[in-house]
C-alpha cells in the first residue's frame, strides 16, 4: 500500500484548478478500460439497489428437492444453492450487503482518516507525533490479522465487520493525508494566509482541504477492492454476515462443501467479488493516470 | 552500522509493548464473560469463582495485563481453555506448518514476480508488458480464498491430481505425499505477493532504466549485463522491503487459505480459537503472529540499511 | 462606522521622527538533526540583527542565499517566533503592546512569484478577499474591495476577478500578490524577492507599480533581494547581511560610492562589468561560503577577506558608525580601537 501512497504524494501539489477536474474527467472518459469498468460497476450497483423490483425469485425461499441444480436449469439460470435457493436472485441481492461492507468502511475511513491526517499535518509538533505514533502501532499488525482479531473479539455480524474494517483502513489514509498536508503546508500561499491573521481552522478549511482532498480520494478508492475482499473474507470465515442473508462471502462459505457436487455454482459468488474488485482497481488506476498530469 | 541496529532495537521496544497491549485489550473488548465458554451451564457459583480466580479474571485489568506480560516473558502464554494443552505448545506446533507454507508461497511469488516484473519493466509498453500487468492486477484483485476453491475444483475434484485438504498424515516431512498437499495452498497464497512484487519490480525497473545515470553508463559503453547489475543493486532495497512485507502478510494473513485447505497452521488455530472463544489461545496466537511481523519488519529495515547507505544516515 | 472604515490603515502613533519599524537584537536559530555519524548542530540563521525603518522610506536588505534575509522577513511579520530580540512597530513593541493579529493589520508581505504563492483553487478575487473576510468584512464588501485593489494594481476586475492563478502570467500573478498584501491596508510592506522570478521588462513594470503605490498610499517598504541593481534602484537605505548578521548599513548611494565592509565591496565588485574598457579579470571574492552550522570564529567573513588579520578571528566586530550619515559597518577596519592595522581614527579614503 505504501508504494501507492508515494505516487499519490507526488501528484499532490496541483498546478491547475479550474478546468483541472474537467480535464481529468475528459481523460477518464477517453480511457476504454475505465469506461468499461465504470459501466460494469454501475450495472452491478444498479442491480443491488433495485433488486427487490427486478422480478427475481425470493432469495430466501428454498426447497431441498431443488438443491444444487447446475447452471442453465429451467427457471434457475444460474442454478440453486445448497438450500435450493435461486442463485441468480441471491447473487443480485447479495450485492447489497457485499457492496455495503466493501464501500462503507472505506468511506468512513476516508472521512476520519482525512480529518486526523490534515490536523496532524497542519499542526505538526507534538500532536503530529502523537497521532502518527498511534498509527504506527496499527501498522505493526498485518491488516488481515487485525481485522480478524477485532471481528473475532467483537463477534460476528455486519456492524462489527464494518467497524473492524474501518479501523484497519484509517491508518493508511491518515498517513497519506498527513504526508500530503505537510507538503501543502510548506507552500507560500499558506504562509500568506497565516500572515493575514487567519486561524488554523479557517486556513485548513479554505486553503488546505481543497488542495489535499483529490489525492487522498484517489488513494481511498484504491482501498475499495481490498476492503471488498477482506469483507467477504470475514464473512467467509463466519465472522461477518450471518445466514440466511445473501452475501457473496457468506455464500462462498456455505457452498464450500458443494464443490464436490456442483463446483461451478459453488464458485459463482467468488466471480462477483473478483469482478467488482478488479473493476475498482482498474478504475482507481485510471483515475490516478488521469490525475497524474505532466506537461 | 551497529549504532543503527541499536537505535532500531530501542525504537522497537515501545512498539512491542503497544502490540502486546492491543493483543491483550482485543480480547477484553469481547462482549460476554470469557468464563462462559469453559464452565458447564449449570455450574455452581462456587465453581465459577474458583475458575475465575484460577484464570485470573477476577483481578483489575492493568494487573491482568502485567501478569500476562510477565508470564509471556517467561514463556508461559497460558492454557488453552478448549484443549487444556499449553498455548505455547499449540502455537509452536502450528507455527512450523505456517512458516513452511508461507516461505514456499513467498518464494514462488517472489521468483515469478521478479521475473514477470523485470520482463515487463524492460520491455515497457510492449505486449509482454501489457500481459504481465494484466496478470499482476488480476492477482492483486483476486479474493485468494476463492482462488483456492477454484484450484481445488480443478485439480482435486475434476482432475483428482492433488489433495484438497490437510497437510498430510502425521507430522511434517519433505516427502512427496506431504509436498502434494502443499502445492495448492502454496500456489494460492503466492498469487497476491506475486502480483505486488510484479508491479513494484516493473515500476522500479522501468524507472531506473530511464534515469540519467543509466544513460551515462550506456554512454560509457558498459555492456548490458553490467548495466543490469547496476540496476539490480539500486532496486534491491525496495524489492527487499516488498519481499519482507509480503512474508509478514503471508504469515499473519494465512488464516483464510489455511481455512480453505484445512492446513494445520497458526491461521487455522486462530480460527478455532475464535469460534470456541478460547481466549488464552486467541491472545497467545495473535501475539506470536504480530510479534513475528514486527521482528520481520525490523530485520528488513536493518538489511535495507546495510544495502542502501542513504538510509543509515536518516 | 462603515465596514470599510474597519480596514483603513492603522493611525500613525509616533509622528514622522519615530521609525515605523525598529528591530533590535533579533535572533533565530534552527536545530539541525544530527545523523548517527554527525553531531547535530545549530544554524544561527539570524544572529543579533538590529536595524530600523523610517516612515515612508524603502529599506533594502541584500545578501547571498542563506544569509538570513528571508528568515528576518518572516520574523518581522510573525510567521516564525524569534528566539530573542524585540520588534517594535511605530514605537509599540510586538508582544506586550501589539498582538500578532494587530501586527498583521500593520505589516504585510509580498512573496516571490512562484506557483506556490497563490492557492490554485481560489479565484483571484477570493484570494484577495480572504484577508478582509478574516477580519470581519462581509463577503460582498470584501469582493468590492478586491475589485478596487485590482484596479489599483493595473488589472481590470471584469477580466481578472474570476480567473485562476494558472490562467495568469508571472507579472499578473505578482500584481495579485501585491493586491493581496494591500487588502488589509498595511502601513509596512515587506517584499521578499518580489521581482526575482520575473522577466526583466515585467520586473521594471512591477517596480514602477510598487513605487506608485508607495506614493499613493503612503507606504513604507522593506525590500529584500539578492539583485543589487534592483535594490539600488528602489531603496533609500540598504542593509547588507552575511551569515545571519548585519555587516553594513547606510544610505544607498553612500554604500555604492564608498562601501566600508569588504564583503559589500566584494558584492558590488562581483557585478559583471558592462564596460569593455574595465573588464573584470579576477573573481572578486575567494573561497567557498562557510558552513552555516559552524560559522568561523570572530568575524564570520574573515576566511574570505583579503584584509584579514589575527584580530579578525579573535573577536567579532560590532556595527560601528563610519562617520558619514547613518552609514555603519561591522568591520575591525572601521573601529579605531580594534587593533587592526588598517583601522585609523581618520577616515580612510581607500577604495579597493
Within 19-48 of C, beta carbons closer than 8 Å to B belong to: 35-38
Q: Which residues of A touch C (CB under 8 A)?
A: 13-19, 187-189, 191-199, 202, 206-207, 210-211
- Give the model confidence (pLDDT) of A261-272 as tens digits: 888 888 888 899
pLDDT > 60? residue A10: no
Q: Is B313 on the interface with C (CB under 8 A)?
A: yes
CA angle B29/B31/B36 to nearest 5° reads 120
Residues of B with CB below 8 A from C38's CB?
313
pLDDT band at C6 (very low <50, low <70, confident <90, very high): low
Average pLDDT over residues A125-135: 88
Q: What is the distance between the alpha carbons of residues A122 and A208, in angstroms, rounded to a whole number?
A: 9
Cα separation, B102 vs B188, whole angstroms:
11
Q: Distance of CA C103 to CAs A283, C20, C77, C196, Å?
A: 50, 12, 7, 26
pLDDT at residue number B268:
85
pLDDT band per the 50, 70, 90 thresholds, residue C351 = very low
pLDDT at position A35: 87
pLDDT tens readout for residues B106-147: 889 888 888 888 888 777 777 888 888 888 888 888 888 888
pLDDT at C1: 36
More confident residue, A118 or C98: A118
Which residues of A touch chain B, with CB atoms under 8 Å apart? 3, 136-137, 140-145, 148-150, 152-155, 225, 229, 232-233, 236-239, 252, 256, 259-260, 263-264, 266-267, 269-270, 273-274, 277-278, 280-282, 285
**C-alpha cell recorded at residue B228:** 543490469
C56: Cα separation from own chain's centroid: 15
Supply the pLDDT for residue C251.
92
Residues C185-195 have a mean pLDDT of 92
Round to whole Å and give the CA distance between C257 and C259. 6
Give me the mean pLDDT over the C254-274 stretch.
82
The predicted pLDDT at position C348 comes to 47
Q: pLDDT band for position B50 (50/70/90)?
A: confident
Query: In which residue are the cell numbers 484504491 written?
Result: A222
pLDDT exceeds cutoff 70 at B8: yes
Q: What is the pLDDT of residue C129?
A: 93
| Other C-beta atoms lying within 10 Å of the C-beta of residue A11 | 17
Q: What percent of chain A has pLDDT over 70?
A: 91
Cα–Cα distance measured from residue A171 to residue A175, given in angstroms and rounded to the nearest whole number: 6
- For the segment B256-284, the average pLDDT, to the nearest whole number, is 83
What pLDDT, on the 0 to 100 scale, is given for residue A25? 75
Report chain C residues whose CB lies below 8 A from the CB of B313. Answer: 35-38
Residues in C closer than 8 angstroms to B9, CB to CB, are: none
- Tell me which chain A residues have a C-beta less than 8 angstroms from the C-beta of B260: 256
Q: Is the dihedral of CA A113, A116, A120, A126 positive or negative?
A: negative
d(CA A95, CA B191): 25
Cell of B303: 538489511
> For residue A14, what is the nearest residue in chain C, using CA coordinates?
C120
> What is the structure's pLDDT at A16?
45
Q: Which residues contact B62 (CB under 8 A, 6 or more apart)?
A: none
Provide the percentage of residues in chain C whose pLDDT is more than 90: 29
Grid coordinates standing for A189?
A: 500561499
SS3 category, A4: helix
* Per-residue pLDDT reduced to its tens digit, A64-123: 777 777 777 777 778 877 788 888 888 888 888 999 999 999 999 999 999 999 999 998
**What is the b/e burial string over C103-121, where b = at least 16 CB atoms within 10 angstroms of the residue's CB?**
bbbbbbbbbbbebbbbbbb
pLDDT confidence of B213, banded at 50, 70, 90?
Answer: low
Phi, psi for A80 (deg, rounded to 5)? -125, 160
Distance CA C315, CA C309 (A): 11
Compute the distance between CA of residue B196 and CA of residue B184 in angstroms, rounded to an integer: 20
Q: Say yes or no for a CB contact (<8 Å) between A144 and B259.
A: no
Q: Residue with C-alpha cell 510477565?
A: B70
Segment B225-253 mean pLDDT = 74
Residue A294 pLDDT > 50, yes or no?
no
**What integer pLDDT is reported at residue C64 of this predicted model?**
82
Query: C219 falls in which pLDDT band (50, 70, 90)?
Result: very high
Integer Cα distance of C129 and C144 in angstroms: 9
pLDDT for B119 equals 82
Residue C191: pLDDT above 80? yes
State mean pLDDT over A18-39.
76
Average pLDDT over residues C287-303: 76
Q: Looking at B44-53, B267-276, C256-265, C340-349, which range is the least confident one?
A: C340-349
Question: What is the distance between the alpha carbons of residues B186 and C235, in angstroms, rounded to a whole number?
Answer: 76
Average pLDDT of the residues of chain B: 78
Measure the CA–CA gap between A67 and A40, rounded to whole angstroms: 30
Angle at CA of residue C14, ends C12 and C20, nearest 5°: 75
What is the DSSP secondary structure assignment for residue C135, as one 8-state letter? T
Neighbours of chain B (3+ CB pairs under 8 A): A, C
Report the alpha-carbon distance of residue B189 to residue B182 in Å, rounded. Answer: 11
Q: Name the residue among B306, B293, B308 with its Cα closest to residue B4.
A: B306
Comparing A137 with C176, the larger pLDDT belongs to: C176
| Burial per residue of B208-234, b for 16 or more beta-carbon CB atoms within 10 angstroms, e otherwise | bbeeeebeebeeeeeeeeebeeebeeb
CA-based nearest distance C290→chain B, Å: 22
Q: What's the rounded mean pLDDT across residues C304-315?
A: 82
Is pLDDT at A180 greater than 80 in this prediction? Answer: yes
**Least reliable range by pLDDT among B148-162, B199-213, C50-64, C322-336:** B199-213
SS3 content of chain C, % helix, strand, coil (to 5): 30, 20, 45
Length of chain A, in residues:
295
Report how far residue A57's alpha carbon sits from residue A90's, in angstroms, rounded to the nearest whole number: 9
Tell me, rounded to whole angstroms, the distance of Cα C322 from its chain centroid: 23
pLDDT confidence of residue C347: 47
- Nearest chain C residue to B2 by CA distance is C36
**Residue in chain C nearest B310 by alpha carbon:** C35
- Asked whether the beta carbons of A156 and A239 are under 8 A apart, the reply is yes
Of C86, C85, C90, whose CA–CA distance to C54 is shortest? C90
- Alpha-carbon B49 to chain mean position: 39
Q: Note the pLDDT tens digit of each residue in A158-175.
A: 898 999 999 999 999 999
Summarize pLDDT for B171-184 with one digit per residue, the tens: 777 777 788 888 88
What is the pLDDT, as a whole number, of residue A21? Answer: 66
- Residues C126, C252: Cα–Cα separation, whole Å: 38
**CA of C111, closest CA in chain B: separation in Å?**
32
Task: Categorise residue C44: left if φ over 0, alpha if ψ from -120 to 50, beta otherwise.
Answer: beta
Chain B residue with minimal CA distance to C36? B313
- Summarize the confidence of residues B214-220 as an average pLDDT: 71
| pLDDT at residue C127 in the model | 92
Q: Which of A148, A154, A277 sits opposite B255 (nearest CB)?
A: A148
Q: In this structure, are strands C84-89 and C92-93 parallel, antiparallel, or unpaired?
A: antiparallel
More confident site: C341 or C102: C102
Domain boundaries along the sequence of chain C = 3-33+40-235, 262-273+283-352
CA–CA gap between residue A31 and residue A38 (Å, rounded): 11
Strands (E), B178-285: none
In chain A, what are the domains?
A: 27-59+79-291 (1.10.3720.10)
Cβ–Cβ under 8 Å, residues C116 and A183: no
Span of B37-51, B107-121, C299-313 with lowest mean pLDDT? B37-51
**CA pair distance B10, B282, nearest whole angstrom:** 28
Binned at pLDDT 50, 70 and 90, residue A31 comes out as confident
Report the CATH fold assignment for C3-33+40-235. Rossmann fold (3.40.50)
Taking CB atoms and an 8 Å cutoff, what residues of chain C touch B305?
none
For residues A218-246, average pLDDT:
87
What's the residue count for chain B?
Answer: 314
Q: Which three cell numbers stand for residue B144?
A: 485468494
A26/B253 Cα distance (integer angstroms): 40
Q: What mean pLDDT comes out for the span C4-27? A: 80
Compute the average pLDDT of residues B260-287.
Answer: 83
Q: Do residues A85 and A60 touch, judged by C-beta distance below 8 A?
A: yes
Which residue shows C-alpha cell 457492496? A99
Give the pLDDT mean for B146-157: 86
Q: Which of A51-60, B33-42, B284-293, C149-158 has the lowest mean pLDDT?
A: B33-42
Q: For residue C36, what pLDDT is reported? A: 43
Kindly tell me if the per-residue pLDDT of C142 is higher than 70: yes
Asked if omega into A244 is within 30° of 0 (cis), the reply is yes
Give the residue-averaged pLDDT of C133-137. 89
Query: What one-character DSSP code corresponds to residue B86?
Result: B
C228-245 mean pLDDT: 91
Tens-place pLDDT, residues A187-196:
899 999 999 8
Residue A218 has pLDDT above 90, yes or no: no
Cβ contacts of C37 on chain B, cutoff 8 Å: 3, 313
Mean of the per-residue pLDDT values of chain C:
84
Q: C344 or C290: whose pLDDT is higher? A: C290
What confidence tens digit (pLDDT) does each residue in C19-32 have? Answer: 889 999 899 988 77
Amino acid at each position: 500500500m505504501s508504494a501507492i501512497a508515494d505516487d499519490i504524494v507526488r501528484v499532490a501539489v496541483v498546478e491547475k484548478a479550474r478546468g483541472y477536474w474537467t480535464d481529468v474527467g475528459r481523460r477518464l472518459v477517453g480511457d476504454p478500460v475505465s469506461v468499461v469498468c465504470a459501466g460494469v460497476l454501475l450495472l452491478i450497483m444498479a442491480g443491488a439497489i433495485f433488486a427487490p423490483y427486478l422480478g427475481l425469485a425470493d432469495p430466501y425461499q428454498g426447497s431441498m428437492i431443488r438443491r444444487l441444480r447446475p447452471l442453465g436449469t429451467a427457471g434457475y439460470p444460474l442454478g440453486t444453492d445448497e438450500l435450493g435457493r435461486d442463485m441468480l436472485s441471491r447473487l443480485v441481492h447479495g450485492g447489497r450487503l457485499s457492496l455495503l461492507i466493501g464501500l462503507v468502511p472505506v468511506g468512513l475511513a476516508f472521512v476520519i482518516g482525512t480529518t486526523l491526517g490534515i490536523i496532524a499535518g497542519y499542526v505538526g509538533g507534538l500532536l503530529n507525533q502523537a497521532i502518527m505514533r498511534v498509527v504506527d502501532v496499527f501498522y505493526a499488525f498485518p491488516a488481515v490479522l487485525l481485522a480478524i482479531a477485532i471481528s473475532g473479539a467483537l463477534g460476528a455480524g455486519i456492524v462489527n465487520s464494518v467497524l473492524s474494517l474501518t479501523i484497519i483502513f484509517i491508518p493508511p489514509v491518515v498517513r497519506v493525508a498527513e504526508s500530503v498536508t505537510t507538503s501543502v503546508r510548506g507552500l507560500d500561499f499558506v504562509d500568506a494566509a497565516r500572515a493575514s491573521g487567519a486561524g488554523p481552522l479557517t486556513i485548513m478549511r479554505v486553503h488546505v482541504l481543497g488542495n489535499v482532498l483529490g489525492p487522498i480520494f484517489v488513494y481511498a478508492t484504491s482501498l475499495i477492492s481490498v476492503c471488498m475482499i477482506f469483507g467477504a473474507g470475514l464473512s467467509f470465515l463466519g465472522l461477518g454476515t450471518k445466514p440466511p442473508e445473501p452475501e457473496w462471502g457468506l455464500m462462498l462459505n456455505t457452498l464450500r462443501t458443494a464443490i464436490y457436487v456442483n463446483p461451478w455454482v459453488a464458485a459463482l459468488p467468488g466471480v462477483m467479488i473478483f469482478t467488482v474488485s478488479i473493476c475498482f482497481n482498474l478504475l482507481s488506476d485510471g483515475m490516478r493516470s488521469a490525475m497524474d498530469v505532466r506537461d | 552500522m551497529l549504532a543503527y541496529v541499536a537505535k532500531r532495537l530501542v525504537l522497537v521496544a515501545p512498539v512491542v509493548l503497544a502490540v502486546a497491549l492491543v493483543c491483550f485489550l482485543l480480547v477484553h473488548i469481547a462482549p460476554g464473560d470469557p468464563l462462559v465458554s469453559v464452565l458447564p451451564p449449570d455450574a455452581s457459583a462456587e465453581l465459577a469463582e474458583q475458575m475465575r480466580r484460577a484464570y485470573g479474571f477476577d483481578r483489575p485489568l492493568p494487573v491482568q495485563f502485567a501478569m500476562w506480560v510477565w508470564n509471556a516473558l517467561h514463556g508461559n502464554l497460558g492454557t488453552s481453555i478448549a484443549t487444556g494443552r499449553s498455548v505455547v505448545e499449540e502455537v509452536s506446533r502450528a507455527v512450523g506448518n505456517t512458516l513452511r507454507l508461507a516461505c514456499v508461497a513467498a518464494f514462488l511469488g517472489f521468483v515469478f514476480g521478479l521475473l514477470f516484473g523485470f520482463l515487463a519493466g524492460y520491455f515497457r509498453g510492449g505486449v509482454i508488458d501489457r500481459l504481465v500487468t494484466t496478470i499482476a492486477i488480476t492477482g492483486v484483485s483476486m479474493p485468494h480464498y476463492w482462488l483456492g476453491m477454484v484450484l481445488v475444483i480443478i485439480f482435486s475434484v475434476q482432475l483428482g491430481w492433488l489433495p484438497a485438504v490437510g497437510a498430510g498424515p502425521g507430522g511434517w516431512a519433505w516427502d512427496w505425499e506431504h509436498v502434494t498437499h502443499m502445492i495448492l495452498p502454496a500456489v494460492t497464497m503466492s498469487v497476491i505477493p506475486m502480483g505486488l512484487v510484479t508491479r513494484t519490480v516493473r515500476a522500479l525497473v522501468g524507472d531506473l532504466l530511464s534515469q540519467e545515470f543509466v544513460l551515462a553508463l550506456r554512454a560509457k559503453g558498459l555492456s548490458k549485463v553490467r548495466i543490469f547489475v547496476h540496476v539490480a543493486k539500486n532496486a534491491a532495497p525496495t524489492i527487499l522491503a516488498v519481499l519482507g512485507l509480503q512474508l509478514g502478510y503471508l504469515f499473519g494473513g494465512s488464516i483464510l487459505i489455511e481455512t480453505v485447505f484445512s492446513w494445520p497452521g497458526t491461521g487455522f488455530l486462530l480460527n478455532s480459537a475464535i469460534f470456541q472463544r478460547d481466549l488464552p489461545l486467541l491472545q497467545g496466537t495473535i501475539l506470536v503472529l504480530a510479534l513475528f511481523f514486527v521482528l520481520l519488519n525490523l530485520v528488513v529495515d536493518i538489511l535495507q540499511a546495510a544495502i542502501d547507505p542513504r538510509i543509515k544516515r536518516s | 462606522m462603515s465596514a470599510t472604515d474597519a480596514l483603513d490603515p492603522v493611525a500613525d502613533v509616533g509622528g514622522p521622527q519615530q521609525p515605523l519599524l525598529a528591530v533590535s537584537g533579533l535572533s533565530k536559530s534552527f536545530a539541525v538533526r544530527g545523523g548517527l555519524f554527525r553531531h547535530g548542530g545549530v544554524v544561527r540563521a539570524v544572529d543579533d540583527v538590529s536595524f530600523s525603518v523610517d516612515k515612508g522610506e524603502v529599506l533594502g536588505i541584500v545578501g547571498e542565499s542563506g544569509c538570513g534575509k528571508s528568515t528576518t522577513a518572516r520574523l518581522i511579520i510573525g510567521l516564525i517566533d524569534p528566539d530573542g530580540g524585540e520588534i517594535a512597530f511605530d514605537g509599540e513593541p510586538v508582544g506586550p503592546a501589539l498582538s500578532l493579529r494587530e501586527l498583521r493589520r500593520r505589516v504585510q508581505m509580498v512573496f516571490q512569484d512562484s506557483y506556490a504563492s497563490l492557492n490554485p483553487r481560489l479565484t483571484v478575487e477570493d484570494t484577495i478577499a480572504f484577508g478582509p473576510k478574516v477580519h470581519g468584512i462581509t463577503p460582498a464588501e470584501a469582493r468590492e474591495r478586491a475589485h478596487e485593489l485590482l484596479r489599483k494594481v493595473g488589472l481590470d476586475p471584469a477580466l481578472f476577478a474570476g480567473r485562476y492563478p494558472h490562467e495568469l502570467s508571472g507579472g499578473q500573478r505578482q500584481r495579485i500578490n501585491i493586491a493581496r498584501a494591500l487588502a488589509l491596508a498595511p502601513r509596512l510592506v515587506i517584499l521578499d524577492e518580489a521581482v526575482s522570478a520575473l522577466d526583466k521588462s515585467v520586473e521594471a513594470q512591477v517596480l514602477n507599480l510598487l513605487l506608485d503605490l508607495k506614493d499613493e498610499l503612503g507606504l513604507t517598504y522593506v525590500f529584500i533581494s539578492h539583485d543589487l541593481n534592483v535594490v539600488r534602484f528602489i531603496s533609500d537605505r540598504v542593509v547588507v547581511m552575511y551569515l545571519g548578521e548585519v555587516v553594513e548599513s547606510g544610505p544607498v548611494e553612500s554604500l555604492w560610492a564608498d562601501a566600508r565592509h569588504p564583503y559589500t565591496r566584494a558584492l558590488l565588485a562581483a557585478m559583471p562589468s558592462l564596460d569593455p574598457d574595465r573588464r573584470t579579470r579576477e573573481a572578486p571574492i575567494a573561497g567557498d561560503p562557510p558552513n552555516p552550522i559552524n560559522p568561523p570564529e570572530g568575524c564570520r567573513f574573515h576566511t574570505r577577506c583579503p584584509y584579514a588579520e589575527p584580530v579578525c578571528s579573535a573577536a567579532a566586530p560590532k556595527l560601528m558608525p563610519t562617520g558619514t550619515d547613518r552609514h555603519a559597518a561591522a568591520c575591525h577596519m572601521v573601529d579605531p580601537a580594534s587593533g587592526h592595522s588598517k583601522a585609523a581614527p581618520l577616515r580612510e579614503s581607500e577604495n579597493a
